[in-house]
Structure 1
Amino acid sequence: MSKTAILVDGGFYRKRAKKLWGQHSPQETASGLITYVRRHLKEHVYHHELYRIFYYDCAPVNKQMYHPLLKRTVNLGATPDYSWMCDFLNCLKEKRKVALRLGFLDDTNSVYTLSYSSVKKLCNGTLSPDALTEKDFELTIRQKGVDMKIGMDIASLAYKHQVEQIVLIAGDSDFVPAAKLARREGLDFVLDPMEMEISKDRDLFEHIDGKRSCGNPYKREKNMEGNDQFKV
């Protein structure tokens, strides 16, 4: 039985999970994440042993920020999003075989910006500036250190031959050099873009051994034999 390390780009997972399966409590989201990633251990007739789940994300920012629409400062530490994220990370800390790899948010360059959909509505005339609400704005804060930690862990797992397979849950091509390195060291490298289309002419698709997503973790999917259905 081969060992598998599952690496999760947390910002990507949370955004896709909310879009695909809706908003859930921190406890439900943490449990759903574990259910989701463990489905990767069942691959047709093969079963893989879990080495560890590496979860990469950033703790939320606790600071005062000026909101251009409200024309006042907002205490981010008192928002529901802040409490949700803190509870979610604490829930993951209690899960077996989960290692948190936290970067940080560059709050020195954080700003409130109009969402893309709101900008489109303003440009096509279906939304007037006077009709803007707080929901039309989103907080933009760039993550620091997350991609680097993912790349370093992939390299470490590959060079030390601690696993035979790496599953990366992510959606961009920033990890192509790390994926190429892992494959050169003989590892099976699988990408899970969570049902997001990955163009075959992109570098990331060229340098992976397989691609699969694992369905809704909040619903038990069964095949005709009554086993959990595994989507390839």
Structure 2
Amino acid sequence: MSKTAILVDGGFYRKRAKKLWGERTPQVAANGLITYVRRHLHEHHLTHELYRIFYYDCPPVDKQMYHPLLKKTINLGVSSEYIWMTQFLDCLKEKRKVALRLGILDDSNSVYTLKYDAVKKLCSGSISTSDLTENHFEMTIRQKGVDMKIGMDIASLAYKHQVDQIVLIAGDSDFVPAAKLARREGLDFVLDPLEMEIGHDRDLFEHIDGKRSCGNPYRKEQTSESLAPYKA
């Protein structure tokens, strides 16, 4: 039986899962994540052994930030987003075979910015500054250290031959150099973009062994035959 490591870009997964399957409580979201990733262990009539689930993310920011529309300072440490994320990470820590790989958020450069749709509407004249609400703004904070941790773990798993397969749940092509390294070491490398198109698929297939997404984890568990097949 082949051994599989599943690596999850948490920032991407959380955002994509919310868009695809709606908002969930921290406990339900953590259970949904585990249900989802474990579907990758069943490939048609094959069953893979789970080595470990590596989850990469950043703890929430606990600081004061000025909101330009409200003209006041917001305490992020008591926000609903802070509470949700803290509880979500705590739930994952309790899960068997889950290893958290946490980076940090660059809170020194964090700001509230207008969302892209709001900027388009302002430029087109469909709304004016007096029409802006809190919903038109989003907090912009960059992650630090997450991509590096993903790359290092892929390299370590490959060089030590601890697994036969790596499944990466991610939404960009930054992983390509690490994927090429893993494949040179003989590992099967599968990408799960959560049903999202990433760049030019033809170019992407040069650097991975398959691409697959596994459906809604909050629905009744699907058989491996009913899931989106691996593309090769």
Superposition TM-score, scaled by structure 2 size = 0.95
Counterpart-to-counterpart distance in 1, 2:52 and 2:211: 20
Task: Tell me: CA distance 1:112–1:206, structure 2 relative to 1, closer, same or farther (3 Å).
Answer: same
**CA distance in 2 between partners of 1:217 and 1:209 (Å):** 24
Gaps in structure 1 of 5+ consecutive residues: none
Q: What is aligned with 1:69?
A: 69
Question: Where do 5+ consecutive residues of structure 2 fail to align?
Answer: none
Alignment of 1:128-207 (within 5 A): 128-200=128-200, 203-207=203-207
In structure 2, the partner of 1:31 is: 31
User: How far does the alpha carbon of each residue in 1:137-169 deviate from its partner, in whole angstroms, 9 at most, with x for none?
Assistant: 000000000000000000000000000000000
Mean CA deviation greater in 203-212 or 66-75: 203-212
Q: Residues 52-97 of structure 1: CA distance to partner in whole angstroms, max 9, x if unpaired?
A: 0000000000000111001111000010000000000000000000
Structure 1 Cα separation of the partners of residues 108 and 193 of structure 2? 30
> Which residue of structure 2 lines up, in the alignment, with residue 112 of structure 1?
112
CA distance in 1 between partners of 2:225 and 2:31 (Å)? 17
Q: Distance in 1 between matches of 2:218 and 2:19?
A: 14
Give the Cα–Cα distance (whole angstroms) in 2 for the partners of residues 77 and 49 of structure 1: 39
Instruction: Report SS of the residue matched to 1:216.
Output: coil
Shift of 1:199: 3.7
Counterpart of 2:227 (choices 221, 224, 230) is 230
Shift of 1:36: 0.3
Local SS of the residue matching 1:23: coil
For 2:161 and 2:150, locate their aligned partners in 1 and report how far apart those are by CA, in whole Å. 16
CA distance in 2 between partners of 1:199 and 1:12 (Å): 16
Give the fraction of aligned pairs with identical amino acids, expressed as a percent: 78
Indicate if the aligned counterparts of 1:221 and 1:229 stay in contact, CA closer than 8 A.
Answer: no
Contact preservation (8 Å) 2:103, 2:144:
yes
Deviations 1:101-144 (A, max 9, x none): 00000001001000011111112222211011111100000000
Residue pair 1:198, 1:205 contacting (<8 A) in 2 also: no
Question: What is the aligned length?
Answer: 229
| SS in structure 2 of the partner of residue 122 of structure 1 | helix
SS in 2 for 1:206: coil
Residues 25 and 128 of structure 1: CA distance in aligned 2, closer, same or farther (over 3 Å): same
Equivalent runs, 1:48-59 vs 2, <5 Å: 48-59=48-59
Kindly provide the amino acid, as one letter, of the partner of residue 227 in structure 2: F
- The corresponding residue for 1:97 is 97
Quick one: which amino acid aligns to residue 230 of structure 1? L
Contact 2:44 2:225 in 1 (8 A): no
Q: Which runs of structure 1 show a deviation greater than 4 angstroms over 4 or more consecutive aligned residues?
A: none
CA-to-partner distance for each residue in 1:150-191, whole Å, 9 max, x for gaps? 000000000000000000000111111100000000000000
Quote the Cα distance in structure 1 between the aligned partners of 2:149 and 2:36.
22
**Following the alignment from structure 1 to structure 2, what is the Cα–Cα distance between the partners of residues 84 and 125?**
36
Residue 204 of structure 1: how far off its partner (Å) = 3.8
After the TM superposition, which of the residue ranges 126-135 and 30-39 deviates more from structure 2? Answer: 126-135
Name the SS for the 2:81 alignment partner. helix
Kept in 2: contact 1:173–1:202 (CA 8 A): no
Deviation at 1:229, TM superposition (A): 2.7
In structure 2, C-alpha distance between the alignment counterparts of 1:85 and 1:210, rounded to whole Å: 31
Q: Within 2, Cα distance between the matches of 1:228 and 1:78?
A: 45
